[in-house]
A and B are shown apart, each in its own frame.
Chain A
Amino acid sequence: MAVPNNPRKTLGESLRQHGVSRRGFLKFCAATASMMALPPSMAPAIAAALEKARRPSVIWLSFQECTGCTESLTRSFSPTVENLIFDVISLDYHHTLQAAAGDAAELAREQAMHDNDGEYLVVVDGSLPGPDANPGYSTIAGISNLQMLQETVAGAAAVVAVGTCAAFGGLPKADPNPSGAVAVTDIVKDKPVINVSGCPPVPMVITGVLAQYLTFGTLPELDEYNRPLAFFGQSIHDRCYRRPFYDKGLFAETFDDEGARKGWCLYRLGCKGPMAYNACATMKWNGGVSWPIESGHPCLGCSEPDFWDAGGFYKALSVPIGDSGDVLVGAGAAGVAVGAAAGVLGRRKSAAAKAAHQPVTADELEQKL
């Protein structure tokens, strides 16, 4: 990623150098304001703040991850204002993207931490083996992920956990979690952590979070999972363009039936949209081209914790997790056995009572009274 020569240049200067027009820049500011549910009057304030913002130092730590998040954020068909925002942050350490290797790379991280102490942002993608796990499952330059995170976060202003692995543990943490993976929030307790979940997250969400930080110097309002409410405040289901079909009761039942071809609701094919909170339905992917449900595939709920263990991807949301059939057969057999035993005991009791029955005449009873 190209880093401008002068690290103290303002964002406005950088953008003009990259050929972004004033109009294009203001358009981005207005879009950002509406995206973050701010009144339109805030757009000039965003523009003014971004213009003057100094490039913040960003240290990007990649732990147990697949690089999908980095791919998502950096890949674009044409340079956009969002990309340039990325170009003008001072990405001082990102071992997938940086040119330096080995000691020089680690030196860059230490230098950035030293020069921007208390001000830099740490972006993490990927989970990391927890304090009780074998640190050898994931190391960088011989340093365990846990140690590197703790060291780097110590002088950070805030931490952004990008992707479901960093935010919630993701795939590495999926049952049986062989590497003892934990999320960033399990380790970092004394710094603000923003979770930008998704597998991968929507690119605009991370640029939006960074823009807010640059504009207001504050972190966005967060939900119960530390996710920015502006992007994770509504469920996929509530914003899905196929929602009318759900409400009408029109469902695709296989991937090639009439319903699938007509674009009906994918609930029965396992769509987790009702429980997934993300911005896909409104912001879409690949520059607004499409998104999973629009392409005919049910939502996997990838922005939610434990989504790998939340039942089959192609099983409806209402279907229980685990094999209920075995439990039913076992419990049913036990029930039949106990019931039969109770019946037999009852019969025996009845037979014994019958055998022990001694007839009494009215005279005998009268004598007793």
Chain B
Amino acid sequence: MITSMDFLLWAKGPMFQIAIAVFAVGILIRLVEIFALGRRHNYAEARGSELLPGMQTVVRRFQADPGTLKHAPFDVVVGTIWHIGFIVALLLFIPHVELIKSTFGIGWPALPNPVVDGITAITLLGLLAALVHRLTHPVKKFLSTTEDYLIWGVTFLVVLTGYLAYHRLINPYPLALGIHILTAEVFLIVLPFTKLTHIFTAFVARWYNGANFGRKGVQS
């Protein structure tokens, strides 16, 4: 018989190793391939440097341009809120910082639990609102693919199971924690092979854009 503790130890042990291996292999294949392919050689004389404008664009694109904000305020506002919430819960929750410290050897200060708790609740509401909007907005619904719903589900489940585990709403606790860890592992495994790669490639794309502007001598 598999007990909840067996399940937790499997999720924390061999399954975590598998998930992190698939994630590392997958995401590095994607990124290294992008860099190795490079871009077509530009024979035109450079009018400016690439580095600084590239960096600037990476930062500036966090701010939605006025047109997008005007035409799709829901997507900008709700999207920003839950993205920030997700990142805060992921990187600034004490148990996560401990995990990162043990896995990568680097740690940083974390936020008090009640703060992360509140932000997580907002993130869950934001994700739910985003789904409802996607399902009710005719254009968004038309454009949505199965993959879009899949990655919404994978993301939502990680946050939801974390919230349930923190509030100890699933008993016994080893089961609650095991389910949360497993959903995080599914997220890690799915990440390199879906649109979730935007977590990394968004910055690559922004840098290429900005660097291109810089080289041409236009404002980035």
Task: Using CB atoms and an 8 Å cutoff, list the residues of chain A in contact with chain B.
Answer: 223-225, 235, 237-238, 246-251, 267-268, 274-275, 277, 304-306, 309-311, 315-322, 324-325, 327-328, 330-332, 334-336, 338-340, 342-344, 346-347
Q: Are B3 and A316 in contact (CB under 8 A)?
A: no
Q: Are A327 and B25 in contact (CB under 8 A)?
A: no
Q: Complex: how many Å from CA A319 to CA B177?
A: 12
A251, chain B: closest CB distance, angstroms: 7
Please count the residue pairs between chain A and chain B whose beta carbons lie under 8 angstroms apart in the complex. 153
A135, chain B: closest CB distance, angstroms: 25
Write the chain A residue with the least CB distance to B11. Answer: A320
Q: Are B173 and A335 in contact (CB under 8 A)?
A: no
Q: B48: CB under 8 A from chain A?
A: no
Q: Are B9 and A325 in contact (CB under 8 A)?
A: no
Write the chain A residue with the least CB distance to B185. Answer: A320
Q: Complex: how many Å from CA A251 to CA B24?
A: 32
With A306-B5, A310-B9 as known contacts, state yes or no: A324 contacts B20, CB within 8 Å: yes
Write the chain B residue with the least CB distance to A316. Answer: B98
Q: Complex: how many Å from CA A268 to CA B107?
A: 12
Residues on B with C-beta less than 8 A from A332 are 24-25, 28
With A324-B20, A328-B20 as known contacts, state yes or no: A267 contacts B95, CB within 8 Å: yes
Q: Complex: how many Å from CA A224 to CA B6?
A: 12
- Secondary structure at the B interface, as helix, strand, loop or mixed, is helix
Residues on A with C-beta less than 8 A from B105 are 325
Among the stretches B30-38, B123-131, B146-154, B209-217, the one at the interface with A is: B30-38
Write the chain A residue with the least CB distance to B14. Answer: A322
Q: B77: CB under 8 A from chain A?
A: no
With A224-B172, A316-B95, A316-B98 as known contacts, state yes or no: A338 contacts B36, CB within 8 Å: no
Residues on A with C-beta less than 8 A from B33 are 339-340, 342-343, 346
Q: B67: CB under 8 A from chain A?
A: no
Q: Are A331 and B115 in contact (CB under 8 A)?
A: no
Q: Are A340 and B3 in contact (CB under 8 A)?
A: no
Q: Quick one: which of B35, B96, B103 contacts A343, CB cutoff 8 A?
A: B35
Q: B17: CB under 8 A from chain A?
A: yes
Can you sample 7 A-B contacts with CB below 8 Å?
A246-B113, A316-B94, A318-B99, A321-B13, A325-B103, A327-B24, A334-B25
Residues on B with C-beta less than 8 A from A321 are 9, 12-13, 16
B94, chain A: closest CB distance, angstroms: 7
With A324-B17, A334-B25 as known contacts, state yes or no: A317 contacts B103, CB within 8 Å: no
Q: Quick one: which of B16, B31, B94 contacts A324, CB cutoff 8 A?
A: B16
Residues on A with C-beta less than 8 A from B4 are 224
Q: Are B36 and A340 in contact (CB under 8 A)?
A: yes
Q: Are B12 and A311 in contact (CB under 8 A)?
A: yes
Q: Are B96 and A318 in contact (CB under 8 A)?
A: yes
Write the chain B residue with the least CB distance to A224. Answer: B3
Q: Quick one: which of A267, A306, A344 contacts B94, CB cutoff 8 A?
A: A267
Residues on A with C-beta less than 8 A from B25 are 331-332, 334-335, 338
A250, chain B: closest CB distance, angstroms: 8
Q: Are A248 and B113 in contact (CB under 8 A)?
A: yes
Q: B21: CB under 8 A from chain A?
A: yes
Q: Complex: how many Å from CA A315 to CA B5?
A: 17
Q: Are B113 and A343 in contact (CB under 8 A)?
A: no
Q: Complex: how many Å from CA A309 to CA B29?
A: 34
Q: Quick one: which of B3, B14, B112, B173 contacts A237, CB cutoff 8 A?
A: B173
Q: Are B3 and A275 in contact (CB under 8 A)?
A: no
Write the chain A residue with the least CB distance to B10. Answer: A321
Q: Quick one: which of B3, B8, B32 contacts A339, CB cutoff 8 A?
A: B32
Q: Quick one: which of A235, A325, A343 contacts B32, CB cutoff 8 A?
A: A343
Q: Are A330 and B21 in contact (CB under 8 A)?
A: yes
